[in-house]
Amino acid sequence: MQSSASLQIVADWITNCRKIAVLTGAGISAESGVPTFRSSQPRISQSDRGEGASENSPTPLWEKYDPSELACAQGFLKHPELVWQWYDWRRRLVEGVEPNAGHLALAQIEKLIAPRPVTIITQNVDRLHHRAGSQNILELHGNIISFRCFDHGHQASEVPYNLLEPPLCNPPHCNSKLRPNVVWFGESLDPTTLEASMKAARQCDLFIVIGTSALVQPAISLPYVAEGNGAKLVEINIERTPLSDHVDVFLSGKSGTVLPSIVDLAKAHGGAL
């Protein structure tokens, strides 16, 4: 755990900055019970397996695959039922958990420094920042709560749970299979979202990176863009990453502990909540 002096420095920067950009990864949702990307896949609880499952029920098929084989267009075309059921399970998982103290602290920071802006740029697809109350969120990798059709991108609403295969896009549209509104491996990010993220990185004077292994482009170029434009860089993670040697302050620890401590210090410094 870092010194309280480092926490105080970051709290002071938050209190005095003009604009904050935050890049989050799977680590910020770990304390809500959402598995991180590069941790081993968790065993699935019996309740997640559905009624009638016993301890001896077979392991779900998707556990036998590397996620990168399923989270791609080729995986969906090859195994549409399997990919659909995997995302259905993940959608039920993220909707069944709650934002944690880290998500809530970021929403508090937004209120604390208003009307100065905080932009949350997230690689997460779980919508937990929205549910925590953050207002200005850019979902770099989309989300698993909404859907569009594979062939034409028609948006779909009210997609039922527990379907064994992807439903079809409704007539008068096209009858193509629905897929989650995520950015799969090999796909480009939404250019509007990416440009808005770049702009937030260019314009902020404080950039905070939380709970990401800092391995995936283009997300991880954002702190370097911010640094190149004079922003201070802060990283919060339980372990060091390839970014750690470049940041001004590395705060070691769980985001659900570190972020509330920073908020407490920033409030004591005179912020109004």
The distance of closest approach from Cβ of residue 162 to ligand APR in the complex, given in angstroms and rounded to an integer, is 25
Phi, psi of 142 (to 5 degrees): 75, -155
Site for ligand APR in 174-213 (CB under 6 A): 211-213
Strands 142-149 and 178-182 turn out to be: antiparallel
Q: In the annotation, is 141 catalytic?
A: yes
Burial code (b: 16+ CB inside 10 Å, e: under 16) for 109-125 equals bbebbeeebbbbbbbbb
Give the range of 4-12, 159-167, 189-197, 250-258 binding ligand APR by CB under 6 A.
Answer: 250-258
Closer to ligand APR by Cβ: residue 9 or 144: 144
Q: How far, in whole angstroms, is CA 106 from its chain's centroid?
A: 13
Q: Does 27 engage in binding with ligand APR (CB under 6 A)?
A: yes
Q: Does 29 engage in binding with ligand APR (CB under 6 A)?
A: no
CA distances from 108 to 127, 255, 270 (A): 17, 14, 14
Contact mark string toward ligand APR, 34..63, x via CB under 6 A: --xxx-------------------------
Q: Which of 79, 130, 141, 154 is catalytic?
A: 141
Structure tokens belonging to residue 226 = 């911010």
**Axis-axis angle for helices 101-113, 255-268 (nearest 10):** 30
The distance of closest approach from Cβ of residue 237 to ligand APR in the complex, given in angstroms and rounded to an integer, is 4
**Axis-axis angle for helices 4-16, 255-268 (nearest 10):** 60
Site for ligand APR in 115-134 (CB under 6 A): 123
Facing residues of 121 across strands? 23, 138
Total residues in contact with ligand APR, by rule CB under 6 A: 22
Contact mark string toward ligand APR, 207..246, x via CB under 6 A: ----xxx--x-------------------xxxx-x-----
Q: Does 103 engage in binding with ligand APR (CB under 6 A)?
A: no
Nearest by Cα to 273 from 52, 161, 110, 77: 110
The distance of closest approach from Cβ of residue 140 to ligand APR in the complex, given in angstroms and rounded to an integer, is 8
**Which positions are annotated as active-site residues?**
141
Binding site for ligand APR (CB under 6 A): 25-27, 30-31, 36-38, 123, 141, 211-213, 216, 236-239, 241, 254-256
